[in-house]
Amino acid sequence: MHPLLKIFFTGMLVSFLGSLPLGTLNIAAMQISVTEGITAAMLFSIGSLIVEIIYVRLSLVAMDWIRKQEKILKALEWITLVIVLALAASSFYSAMHPSVEKNIVLSSSLPKFFLGFVMSALNPVQIPFWFGWSTVLFTKKVLLPRSDHYNSYILGIGIGTFIGNCVFIFGGLLIAKKINNNQHILNWVIGGIFAITALIQLWRMLTKKDAIHKMEHPEKEKEIE
């Protein structure tokens, strides 16, 4: 296989599999698809994956600088925790008040593309994830410090993330059709997922298994989380 194709498919596969575990952004995309439609969810996903691509590009050319930004990463982790708690509370509120079908946070007046961009930019989890994987690929000589390698890698990552998000977007619509008029059930489930995500995030921060720890130990990022 041509090296650039190998890099492309490697980036796409890692990104796709990394997008499948339940997380803030893919669950948010799923809820948006249910309440506001596929187009809105797609725009949200595109906004979020653009930030991911930017972070990957920065991690490839500025690894040493990124590793030193502990205070910024720590601040972003706390901001992310607050956002996830707000999403959980909003989902629970909608579940307890059937007349309120939409998540108050996700149905804000912000354009969905910009909302996805901002939420992704404030989510530091993807930084150590890609920092670790890029380190592994550099070590194995799969990825070389060349522009064509970087471009192929990033293109694969973008497509892989988008496909992964589509699983949640269309899966959410399928679930919504199955439960039909019981929208509050889905809101309870999504609220529970956001709440569990917040607890996991807090636990990682308190036990020092957060983004900063992973940046300092990139070799532990060989397995997809």
pLDDT-based confidence at residue 117 (cuts at 50, 70, 90) = very high
Mean pLDDT of 207-217: 56
pLDDT of residue 100 exceeding 60? no
Task: Tell me which of 4-8, 41-45, 58-62, 109-113 is least confident.
Answer: 58-62
pLDDT-based confidence at residue 151 (cuts at 50, 70, 90) = very high
pLDDT of residue 225 exceeding 50? no
Task: Tell me which of 103-107, 128-132, 171-175 is least confident.
Answer: 103-107
Q: How far apart are CA 221 and CA 207, in angstroms?
A: 17
Mean pLDDT of 158-174: 90
pLDDT-based confidence at residue 203 (cuts at 50, 70, 90) = confident
Percent of the chain with pLDDT over 70: 80
C-alpha separations of 30 from 22, 101, 104, 113, 170 in Å:
11, 14, 15, 15, 8
Contact between 84 and 198 under an 8 Å Cβ cutoff? The reply is yes
Q: What is the pLDDT of residue 220?
A: 47
Q: What is the pLDDT of residue 24?
A: 82
pLDDT tens-place string over residues 34-84: 888 899 999 999 999 999 999 888 878 776 565 566 676 677 677 777 878
pLDDT-based confidence at residue 222 (cuts at 50, 70, 90) = very low
**CB neighbours of residue 112 within 10 Å:** 24
pLDDT tens-place string over residues 133-144: 887 888 888 888
Cα–Cα nearest to 161, from 4, 32, 55, 73: 55
pLDDT tens-place string over residues 32-45: 888 888 999 999 99
pLDDT-based confidence at residue 196 (cuts at 50, 70, 90) = confident
